């Protein structure tokens, strides 16, 4: 039987039994080696599809794949060794039309994909979407493998094989130029952005570069656009540039670490099957792969450098004066990694100049991107191996106008405490330090950490005014909290920025230690989880500074809120209001513009009003709420005690129902044209709707059956009655006007609650009105009616008409209720 080999081979190496020496038979790439002789294949090459294709010339680049550009088409040569290898496909904006809703650097799409052979002439591109696993040693793994399959997202025809490398040549032009799931927009993004179908006659592949572990594809794409979305849409289309990275994932995935609900990591859900147990639902946390260079020294408790550092590069478009502060924000995390046993684990570097081997869109490199956007935000997405949770790369997207955000927050929260913040132009040093803490927060996300909104609750309110304490321990236990600045501190406390700014703190160090500690003794993530849970329980017991219970919105727990401080929002926000009043006393001075314009005054006045509304929202959340606990020794759920809820009602009475006229000085509103009366009325009416919601009353009733700390419904009604039904005096007619509207709203919302329908808070009351809440509401209406009858004869003419009108409203409510209509 004759054997044939194509390429550059030494026959003796393949056929040792022949006894031939290597020097005797060496053939060129155009030679077929046989047992008989060397045969010239020039004639055959004319019919070889591979050779016929590359004969056209064009360019060729070597890397992860061999990339060929021949005439108008692009080709990949796929070696057999990469068939079945997992890759991440990550597409980002390289440039966008003006006023587009997304900006350069933001992510368009990402998928885990792999190439798969199907017969001799076809290669599939499949998307890896599996979330069910079984260990190979389990027999159920066979069944699981047979019963699940990944979707085919594209089919490529094999043109032929490279006679030297045996790699298969495919044409990827149609895939990249057309509509496809991997490199294109999702259907939801298309709706949001107003993007239609791709316009193939105006879509081009600019270039494809290949590196050792990745391929970078730059394309110019034109889409149909909905009218009016962006200026470019007037032409019916928008053109944008995209960069797609295909990044090879490790052949052997990092061992996953299973999540613990008491430590806040981003994670991906999986289901694990085994022969011995029922299916088990787990979650794999997202983290970088950190392994010590010297495992023995690490095990001995010494700080050891990792085999591979976490490196963040600074976008060369970043203004030079801010780059150093962004780098400090990144490297502030070094002390957290020291808790996990690593030194110099994370570093920041300037993007190298004139290095042709690096691309800022290359998914091998983590970059802090500086984006020219008016958006006041920053965020830190991660690219993750779905099999293990390993973070391969992260892009921190920093919008230029995030500086506006921190400037207004710092002025309205700490302006009375820091003279540097008593003018619109902050010094570079102050602005740099503000940038630094935002950088640290976003890096935390890129490392895998979620928000920790409950962290600030671990600090007693009065400690926030204790200079020595707060400068040593900080005003919140986590940089991952939204606890911007210490607005509780008062000017007389003389607290420096060490006690005003957030910092990487106790929780952050603990969370990094938990997620990144190197535990090679565990070869099974399930066994590791069991040990880690026991260790975590021991560490967390009695230590609220390490507590995490979920992002904001975990139930209605008032301790887990954004932008709050301390363990009691009523006391904390009383201090916050004092500082806001100080800001308002100087707002015109601090925002003065030499040209007589009031842009800065308007900007800061909106910020002050927004801060005031945050305080209101913080306090409202104490009503009808429950605590959600997951710390050792805590009840999973508990009600907010009566005394705290009563304190919240009192705060709202003093600061909302008593119109906050200090927020709207005439000299300010007259310059800005603010409709303060409408703003106050809307705020008061919204609060009354919430207070009288039948669902809220039902919640209070339910609390009475499960806890002796509950807020009794009768007492609650007495307290909110006292908020609204205060005497109308002749001393302040403006306050009287607000009170009359409050009282009309109060009666009207009692009617809505009693007779069903939807209140101003949007709540459907139909279910709640079938409960005993309706009885309490009817009883309370009696109290309101009695009050109106007693005071209606003792008022001025206008107030007497007001009470007469209210009695008529009550009568109509009763008639409708009694008729059942």
- Pair 451, 544 in one domain: yes
Mean pLDDT for the chain?
86
The whole-number pLDDT of residue 132 equals 62
pLDDT at 22: 30
Q: What is the mean pLDDT of residues 367-383?
A: 71
- Count up the domains in the chain and report the number: 4
Is 200 part of any domain?
A: yes
CB contact at 8 A, 124 and 154 = yes
pLDDT average, residue stretch 662-682? 96
pLDDT tens profile 630-648? 888 888 889 999 999 999 9
Is 533 part of any domain?
yes
For residue 23, tell me if it sits in a domain: yes
268 belongs to a structural domain? no
Rounded to whole angstroms, the Cα distance separating 13 from 384 reads: 43
Q: In the prediction, which pLDDT does 229 show?
A: 56
Domain for residue 618, yes or no?
no
Tokens representing residue 387 in the block:
């099999």
Q: Is residue 666 part of a domain?
A: no
Containing structural domain, residue 96: 51-248
Lowest pLDDT segment from 57-66, 78-87, 95-104, 622-631? 95-104
Q: Is the pLDDT of residue 278 over 60?
A: no
Mean pLDDT is lowest, of 28-32, 184-188, 810-814, for 28-32
Q: State yes or no: pLDDT of 743 exceeds 90.
A: yes
Q: Is the pLDDT of residue 291 over 50?
A: yes
For residue 552, the model assigns a pLDDT of 63
Q: Mark which of 192, 227, 248 sits at the end of a domain.
A: 248
Let me know whether 412 and 460 are in one domain. yes
In a domain, 738, yes or no: yes
Residues 414-425 pLDDT 10s: 999 999 999 999
14 & 61 share domain: no
- SS3 for 48? coil
pLDDT digits (tens, 9 = 90+) for 470-512: 999 999 999 999 999 999 999 999 999 999 999 999 999 999 9
Q: Are residues 40 and 85 in the same domain?
A: no
Is residue 6 scored above 50 in pLDDT?
Answer: no
**What is the arithmetic mean of pLDDT over 455-480?**
97
Q: Which of the residue ranges 65-69, 81-85, 536-540, 794-798 would you say has the lowest mean pLDDT?
A: 794-798
Residue 25: band (very low, low, confident or very high) from pLDDT cuts 50, 70, 90: very low
Q: Are residues 325 and 227 in the same domain?
A: no
pLDDT at 227: 56
Same domain (yes/no): 38, 59: no
**Percent of the chain residues topping a pLDDT of 90:** 62
The CATH number of the domain where 477 resides is what? 3.40.390.10
Specify the pTM.
Answer: 0.85
pLDDT band at 60 (very low <50, low <70, confident <90, very high): very high
Secondary structure class of 503 (helix, strand, coil): coil
Share of residues in the chain with pLDDT > 70 (%): 85
Task: Please report the pLDDT score of residue 189 as a whole number.
Answer: 76
With 80 as the cut, is the pLDDT of residue 236 above it?
no
The pLDDT score that the predictor gives to residue 642 is 96
DSSP 279-323: -EEEEEEPB----BS-HHHHHTT--B-BSS-EEEEEPTTS-HHHH
258-281 average pLDDT score: 78
Q: Cα 704 from chain centroid?
A: 37
pLDDT of 361 over the 80 cut:
no
Asked if residue 595 and residue 725 are part of one domain, the reply reads no
pLDDT score of 290 more than 80: yes
- Residue at 271 is within a domain: no
Verify that 117 and 219 share a domain, yes or no.
Answer: yes
Tell whether 65 and 39 lie within a shared domain. Answer: no
Which of 248, 267, 284 finishes a domain? 248
Same domain, 124 and 179: yes
Task: Say if residue 324 is in the same domain as residue 241.
Answer: no
Residues 6+ apart with CB under 8 A from 618: 558, 561, 563, 564, 569, 572, 573
Together in a domain, 11 and 73: no
Domain boundary among 248, 281, 316: 248
pLDDT band at residue 279, thresholds of 50, 70 and 90?
low
Which residue bears the tokens 């570069």? 209
Q: Is the pLDDT confidence value at 739 over 70?
A: yes
Higher model confidence: residue 535 or residue 359? 535
């Amino acid at each position: 039987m004759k054997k044939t080999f194509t390429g550059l081979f030494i026959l003796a190496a393949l056929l040792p039994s022949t006894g031939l020496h290597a020097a005797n038979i060496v053939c060129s790439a155009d030679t077929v080696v046989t047992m008989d002789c060397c045969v010239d294949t020039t004639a055959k090459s004319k019919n070889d599809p591979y050779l016929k294709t590359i004969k056209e010339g064009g360019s060729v680049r070597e890397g992860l794949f061999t990339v060929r550009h021949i005439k108008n088409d692009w080709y990949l040569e796929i070696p057999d060794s990469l068939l079945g290898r997992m890759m991440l496909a990550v597409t980002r904006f390289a440039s966008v039309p003006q006023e587009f809703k997304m900006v350069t650097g933001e992510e368009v799409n990402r998928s885990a994909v792999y190439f798969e052979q199907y017969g001799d002439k076809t290669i599939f591109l499949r998307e890896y979407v599996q979330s069910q696993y079984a260990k190979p040693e389990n027999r159920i793994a066979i069944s699981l493998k047979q019963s699940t399959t990944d979707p085919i997202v594209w089919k490529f025809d094999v043109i032929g094989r490279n006679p030297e490398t045996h790699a298969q040549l495919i044409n990827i032009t149609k895939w990249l130029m057309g509509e496809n799931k991997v490199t294109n927009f999702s259907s939801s993004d298309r709706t949001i952005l107003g993007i239609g179908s791709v316009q193939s006659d105006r879509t081009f592949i600019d270039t494809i570069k290949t590196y050792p572990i990745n391929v970078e594809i730059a394309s110019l794409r034109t889409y149909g656009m909905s009218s009016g979305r962006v200026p470019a849409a007037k032409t019916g289309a928008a053109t944008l540039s995209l960069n797609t990275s295909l990044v090879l994932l490790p052949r052997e995935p990092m061992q996953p670490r299973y999540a613990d609900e008491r430590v806040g990591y981003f994670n991906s859900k999986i289901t694990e099957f085994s022969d011995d147990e029922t299916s088990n639902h787990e979650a794999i946390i997202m983290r970088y792969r950190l392994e010590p260079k010297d495992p023995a020294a690490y095990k001995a408790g010494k700080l050891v450098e990792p085999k591979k550092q976490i490196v963040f590069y600074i976008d060369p478009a970043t203004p030079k004066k801010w780059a150093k502060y962004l780098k400090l924000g990144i490297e502030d995390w070094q002390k957290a990694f020291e808790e996990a046993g690593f030194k110099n684990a994370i570093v920041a570097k300037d993007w190298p100049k004139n290095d042709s081997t690096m691309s800022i869109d290359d998914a091998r490199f983590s970059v802090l991107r500086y984006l020219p956007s008016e958006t006041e935000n920053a965020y830190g997405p991660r690219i993750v191996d779905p099999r293990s949770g390993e973070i391969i790369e992260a892009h921190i997207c920093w919008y230029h106008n995030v500086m506006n955000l921190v400037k207004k927050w710092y002025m309205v929260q700490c302006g009375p405490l820091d003279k540097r913040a008593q003018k619109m132009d902050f010094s570079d040093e102050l602005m740099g330090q503000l940038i630094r803490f935002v950088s640290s927060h976003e890096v935390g996300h890129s490392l895998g950490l979620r928000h920790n909104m409950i962290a600030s609750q671990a600090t007693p309110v009065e400690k926030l005014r204790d200079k020595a304490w707060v400068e040593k321990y900080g005003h919140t236990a986590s940089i991952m909290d939204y606890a911007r600045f210490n607005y509780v501190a008062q000017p007389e406390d003389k607290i420096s920025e060490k006690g005003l700014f957030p910092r990487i703190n106790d929780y952050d160090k603990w969370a990094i230690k938990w997620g990144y500690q190197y535990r090679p003794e565990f070869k099974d993530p399930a066994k590791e989880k069991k040990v880690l849970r026991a260790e975590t329980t021991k560490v967390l017991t009695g230590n609220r500074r390490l507590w995490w219970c979920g992002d904001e919105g975990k139930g209605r727990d008032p301790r887990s809120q954004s932008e709050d401080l301390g363990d009691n929002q009523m006391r904390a926000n009383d201090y916050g209001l004092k500082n806001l009043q100080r800001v308002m006393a100087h707002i015109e001075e601090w925002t003065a513009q030499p040209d007589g314009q009031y842009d800065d005054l308007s900007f800061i006045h909106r910020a002050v009003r927004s801060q005031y509304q945050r305080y209101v929202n913080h306090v409202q959340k104490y009503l009808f709420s429950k605590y959600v606990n997951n710390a050792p020794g805590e009840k999973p759920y508990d009600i907010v005690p009566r005394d705290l809820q009563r304190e919240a009602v009192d705060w709202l009475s003093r600061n909302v129902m008593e119109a906050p006229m200090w927020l709207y000085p005439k000299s300010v509103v007259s310059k800005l044209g603010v409709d303060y009366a409408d703003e106050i009325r809307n705020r008061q009416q919204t609060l009354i709707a919430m207070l009288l919601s039948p669902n809220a009353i039902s919640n209070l009733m339910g609390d009475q059956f499960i806890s002796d700390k509950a807020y009794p419904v009768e007492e609650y009604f007495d307290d909110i009655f006292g908020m609204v039904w205060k005497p109308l005096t002749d001393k302040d007619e403006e306050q009287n006007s607000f009170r009359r509207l409050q009282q009309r709203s109060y009666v009207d919302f009692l009617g809505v609650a009693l007779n069903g329908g939807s209140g101003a808070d949007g709540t459907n009351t139909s279910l709640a009105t079938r409960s005993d809440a309706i009885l309490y509401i009817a009883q309370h209406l009696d109290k309101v009616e009695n009050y109106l009858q007693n005071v209606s004869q003792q008022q001025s003419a206008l107030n007497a008409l007001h009470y007469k009108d209210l009695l008529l409203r009550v009568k109509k409510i009763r008639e409708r209720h009694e008729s059942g209509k």
